[in-house]
Amino acid sequence: MRDIPQPLSNIKSPFLTEVTTFIRTRGLAYSTEKAYIGWIKRFILFSQYRHRSQINAKDIRPFLEHLVTVKNVAPNTQKTALNALVFLCREMLNQDTNSLNFKRSKRSTKLPEVFSHEEAMEVISLLQYPYRLVAQLMYGSGLRVNEALRLRVNDINLESVSVTIRNGKGNKDRKTLLSQHIITDLQQQIDSVAILHQLDIKNGFGEVYMPYALQLKYPNHAKSLGWQYLFPAKNISKDPRSSRMMRHHLTDRSVQLQIAIAVKEAKILKKANCHTFRHSFATRLLEAGTDLRNIQELLGHADIKTTQIYTHVVGTHFSGVKSPLSKI
């Protein structure tokens, strides 16, 4: 249950408890919380602070430059660190961060690795249930691995052939398309979840994790079929927040392992992983002439610049440009 916020009582540092509480009152995603806390810890150690009164926004610059000159981090890594420390100093401690001026990372950004359609289908064919369906959602709908694993039964709409992603990256909801190719498999998966859920109810369980606000607003929904995970874990486990026994979803590590094995069996030499399916989804749409804005919406990118990288992946040969050697 690595994607469920841990109880504040588990945090040993009073200051980090305060920071974590502040982050949660702002409604940031748990993945953002973990990233921010990690960078704040590193900043405190680097600056050798002994008390919160010593924290100074002016110390952000030497820390960020250390990341570039010593750690040689990528631009996005430095940007995440900057966001975390600006959040700490400006939002929580009310310090001025407008005058920050630092050496930015200039490491080249690598183009994402992409499967050909044949490669993607080969990897998918080598996966067993339920990992095959997870991969089909990543490739056919552009989902991140954890977005697929966190899907609830209610998020699948077979009539409109669409899927709703709740609290995706940036803590935003979005809708994306489903492939007609997997509608039957999805219905069978929902049916199997219903059977397992009835068995859990019979055994005195059947409750699933719900975000705190929804748990209070809809206390009975935690045992409803619609809120059950589409890809439930094999075993019941203890919820770290409530200590109640619940059935969570499959872990991302288990999916990553199965896909790594399938990529190896397919003899694909690319540095491919779960996210390669999402990159391949975007690339196929762009090759088919889909508008970049539509792809941005389906992927849930906040900035169109993030989506534009796929134009470099596709390359100019799809626009009709030919090599001079072709004229020989």
Answer yes or no: 312 catalytic.
Answer: no
Answer yes or no: 209 catalytic.
Answer: no
Spatial contact of 105 and 71, defined as CB atoms under 8 Å apart:
no
Indicate which residue of 152, 278, 279, 284 is catalytic: 278
Indicate which residue of 169, 174, 175, 241 is catalytic: 169
Answer yes or no: 129 catalytic.
Answer: no
Indicate which residue of 36, 209, 229, 310 is catalytic: 310
Indicate which residue of 36, 132, 144, 209 is catalytic: 144
Indicate which residue of 132, 150, 279, 301 is catalytic: 301
Answer yes or no: 310 catalytic.
Answer: yes
SS (H, E, C) the chain: CCCCCCCHHHCCCHHHHHHHHHHHHCCCCHHHHHHHHHHHHHHHHHHCCCCHHHCCHHHHHHHHHHHHHCCCCCHHHHHHHHHHHHHHHHHHCCCCCCCCCCCCCCCCCCCCCCCCHHHHHHHHHCCCCCHHHHHHHHHHHCCCHHHHHCCEHHHEECCCCEEEECCCCCCCCEEEECCHHHHHHHHHHHHHHHHHHHHHHHCCCCCCCCCHHHHHHCCCHHHCHHHCECCEEEEEEECCCCCCEEEEECCHHHHHHHHHHHHHHCCCCCCCCHHHHHHHHHHHHHHCCCCHHHHHHHHCCCCHHHHHHHHHHHCHHHHCCCCHHHHC
Write out the catalytic residue numbers.
144, 169, 275, 278, 301, 310
